[in-house]
Amino acid sequence: MSTINQPLKLLMNLAKIQAVISRKFDGLAVHGIGFNDFLILHLLQQAPGGQLRRTELAEKIGLTASGITRLLLPMEKTGLVTRGANERDARVSYAKLTHAGKTIYEEALPSASAISEDIIPDEYLKKSPPVADLLIMLGGNIR
Amino acid sequence: MSTINQPLKLLMNLAKIQAVISRKFDGLAVHGIGFNDFLILHLLQQAPGGQLRRTELAEKIGLTASGITRLLLPMEKTGLVTRGANERDARVSYAKLTHAGKTIYEEALPSASAISEDIIPDEYLKKSPPVADLLIMLGGNIR
DNA sequence: GACATATACTTGACTTATCAATGATTATTC
DNA sequence: GAATAATCATTGATAAGTCAAGTATATGTC
């Protein structure tokens, strides 16, 4: 008889959690951006000089290089982000936060924080229960 | 100065983890199924009578109803799953595990378990560190 | 210093999922 | 019990991301 191991159980819960989360985060649409756009803005805002190589963004965000190209395209068009070149290596292209982008990020941050706290209430974190329990609980309670 | 709260940090990590996981799980493609197909088979296999209503599947898996329709379509064509009706309520339609579906599930289970253990090594679970640490660690280490 | 290999990014074709609208059935309310 | 509202599922149009192939540049080797 085949049973399910614990890691697999976790991953199955994760899948659902993530699906629900990214849909909740469409609340950011008020600011004209989606979850991944927000992530991009956040990463750039933290990066030195407000810029990162596209490959780095891909790696940090969990998308492929082509996914990044397609994600950044509209952000460049709306002027949240701009392109930069590397003097030493002509292959690389930077994504750079614009002033407009920074503004949008700062406007969206409170919404994003509120949504997050709604999904993962602070009390869960304070208790710091074992991961397994938390994820399973989330999987069961999340809407 | 705007800082990031802990829940938001977690969710940003989760997003990446999930993106990576579902790509890793395409290793199940050897069995001719994807991550969500596997999830469906798993849920049906556990359900009494090997069947579930389509809305229930949607809810459990974190997809919309239309997502389920489109996910099940090819699975019905390849005969992993079949349709059932409800005698009392003509609106509902069941997804039911076929013999072939059960076989594929059992074949895929070991692969799925192996992939999961690879992503979340057992030692992490044994230590049961606070969620935050685990997720952040994962977000940093996952490939 | 030419040739093979590797890296960074983009593009075309495709997959997967969403949303909004629709059809069909059931439940509620007056 | 007719009218209204709610629920289940599917469909057309579209968005977001993948993969494989292609272009351009860098690096390593002989």
Asked if the Cβ–Cβ distance from A15 to B22 is below 8 Å, we say: yes
Judge contact between A19 and B61, C-beta under 8 A: yes
For B60-108, write each residue's pLDDT tens digit: 998 999 999 999 999 999 999 999 999 999 999 999 999 999 999 999 9
Distance B52 CA to D29 C1' (A): 62
Buried b (16+ CB within 10 A) or exposed e, A113-136: bebbbebbeeebbeeeeebbebbb
Kindly indicate the confidence band of residue B24, based on its pLDDT and cuts at 50, 70 and 90: confident
Strand arrangement, sheet containing B93-97: B51-53, B93-97, B81-85
Q: Does A96 lie at the interface with B, CB-CB under 8 angstroms?
A: no
Of A6, A15, A109, the CB nearest to B2: A109
Judge contact between A15 and B18, C-beta under 8 A: yes
CA distance to partner chain A, nearest, from residue B117 (Å): 6
pLDDT tops 60 at residue B143 = no
**Strand C within 7 A of B87 CB:** no
Closest CA to A10 of B41, B124, B68, B76: B124
Structure tokens at A142: 């999340």
For B49-73, write each residue's pLDDT tens digit: 999 999 999 999 989 999 999 999 9
Asked if the Cβ–Cβ distance from A39 to B15 is below 8 Å, we say: yes
Q: Which domains does chain A have, with CATH numbers?
A: 6-141 (1.10.10.10)
Q: Does B136 lie at the interface with A, CB-CB under 8 angstroms?
A: no
Strand intervals (E) in chain A: 51-53, 81-85, 93-97
Beta bridge partners of B53: B94
Length of chain B: 143
Mean pLDDT of B7-21: 79
User: How far, in Å, are A11, A64, A97, B59, B84 from residue A136 at the CA level?
Assistant: 10, 29, 37, 15, 30
What is the rounded CA–CA span in Å between residue B32 and residue A143? 31
B89 dihedral zone (left: phi>0; alpha: psi -120 to 50; beta): beta
From first to last of the 143 residues of chain A, give the pLDDT tens digit: 567 777 787 788 777 777 777 777 877 778 889 999 999 999 999 999 999 999 999 999 989 999 999 999 999 999 999 999 999 999 999 999 999 999 999 999 998 998 888 777 776 666 655 555 555 555 555 54
